[in-house]
Amino acid sequence: MLVIFLTLTGWVLDRSFRTSVTAGAEEQLRLVVYSVMGAVEDEGGRLQVGVDISEPRLSQPDSGLYARVADDLNGALWVSPSATSDVNFDTGAAEPGAFVFVEAALPLPRYVLSYTVIWEGADVERVTFSAAVDQAPFAASIGEFRRSLGVGFGLAMLVFVLAQILSLRWGLRPLRVMADEVQALESGDVQTMRDGYPRELQGLAKNLERFIEHEQRSRSRYRHALEDLAHSLKTPLAVIRNTLIEPRVDRSLLGEQLERMESTVTNQLSKASARGPVVVGKPVDIGVQVERLARALQTAYIEKDVDVSLSKEASPLVRGDESDFLEIFGNLAENAFKYANSKVSIVVRQEKNEALVLVEDDGDGIPEDLRADVLNRGKRLDEIQPGQGIGLAVVAELVVLYAGRLEIRESDLGGAKIEVRLPC
C-alpha cells in the first residue's frame, strides 16, 4: 500500500509539474507574440517588423526562441534572425483573435504558439503571428524534477518502511511476550502470566489466566478426589477382606461396608464432576434456572401444598457450567421444600458484581451451633428424611470453587435462611 500510494502521489506531482512547465512555456511564447506585434509597422499597406524587439534572443542565431509573421496564405512576411534552420511554425487553422498552442515533434521537439488577426488597411487581410521555443530546456527541467522526486520519494519510502517495521515490532512486542509466556506455561517453566499488558491485550491475558486457573483447579480437584477415594475405600475393603476370612460371614456388616463404599464413590464422583467457572461459553441466567427448579419441585412436593414465593428483581448472569448451578440451587431448593411446613421463599437479584440467591423456609431451621457441621459431608441433622447428608456439602464446595460465599442464618419465616453469593 505504501508503494502504491507513493507511486500515485509521484505520478500526480509529475503531471502537475509538467503541466506547470508547459503553461510557463505557453506564457513565454505569448509574450514573444505580443512583442512582435508591437514591433510591426504599417507602411503604405505593407507590414514590416522593426528592429526594436524587446526579446534579444530573437536576434541570436539558433538561440532556441523563434518568431514569424505570415500572411493568410502562410507566406512568411518576416522570420526572426534566430531561425537559421528549418522551424515548423504550423499550428493548424485558427479563428482570428484566438491563441493556438501545440507541441511540434518535427524537425525538433518545440512548443509553438500562433495568433491570427485581421489587419485593416494592409495588403493582406489575415496576419498570423507565431512563436516557437525548443523543448530541450523544459524537458531538462522536467527530468531534473523527476530525478529529485524519485530520490525524495525513495528516501521517504525507506524511512516510512523502517518506521513501520520499528513501530510494528514495538506495537507487537506484547504479543511476542505473551507467546513466549504461553510457551513457558506449556513447558511448565512458569505457572501464571505476568501483569502489565496493554489495554488491548488485557482481556485476552485475563481470559488466559482464568483458563490456566481453571485447568489447575480441575487437575487439583481430580487428584484430591482420587486420593480421597483411595483413602476412603481402604478401610471398608479391609473390613470386607477380614469378614470374608471368618468362617461365618456377617452379611449385615458386608452390606454396611458396601453401602459405605457406594456413598464414598458417589461423593467423590460428585466432587470430581464439578467444572467450576468456565472461560468460554455464554453466561448462565441464574433467575431462569431457579424459576425452573421451583416449578419442578412444586410438582414433586405437590402433596405438601407448599406456598412458594419467587422474587426476581434482576436476572444476574454468571459465567460457569449450568450443571454446577443446577447442583447448587437444586440442593438448596430441595432442602427448603423437604423441611418446610408450608412456605418457601426464594429471592434472586444482582448486587453490584454479585448474584445473590436467598432460599428460606418455615421449617424447624438449623441451630446456630450446628450450621458449620451441616456443611461437612455425611453430617445430617434429620435422620428421618431420605438422603446421604452430602447436599449442603456439595453446595459449599461448589460455591468455594466459584469464589463465592455461603451463609446460613435464621429466616423471618421461622426456618433456615441460606444466602449464596456468586461473582458475575
Q: Are strands 405-410 and 343-351 parallel, antiparallel or unpaired?
A: unpaired
- Residues of the chain under the 70 pLDDT cut: 44-45, 50-52, 74, 121-122, 228, 231-232, 248-250, 253, 263-264, 266-281, 377-391
Alpha helices (H) in 349-404, listed in sequence order: 391-401
User: What are the tens digits of pLDDT across the range 361-398?
Assistant: 998 888 888 888 777 754 444 443 444 345 688 888 88
Fold classification of 2-141 (topology level): Beta-Lactamase (3.30.450)
pLDDT at 241: 73
The domain 284-423 is placed in CATH, from the list 3.30.565.10, 3.40.1170.60, 3.40.50.920, 3.40.50.2300, at 3.30.565.10
pLDDT for res 389: 44
Question: Per-domain residue ranges for the chain?
Answer: 2-141, 199-273, 284-423
State whether residue 282 is helix, strand or coil.
coil
Task: Please name which of 216, 142, 204 lies closest in space to residue 174, comparing C-alpha atoms.
Answer: 204
**pLDDT value of residue 386:** 41
pLDDT digits (tens, 9 = 90+) for 114-170: 998 888 766 777 888 999 999 999 999 999 999 999 999 889 989 988 999 999 998
CA distance 94 to 115: 8
DSSP character at residue 283: P
Residues 6+ apart with CB under 8 A from 287: 312, 314, 315, 316, 348
- pLDDT recorded at residue 132: 93
Q: What angle do CA 353, 279, 281 make, to 5 degrees?
A: 90
The reported pLDDT for the residue numbered 272 is 60
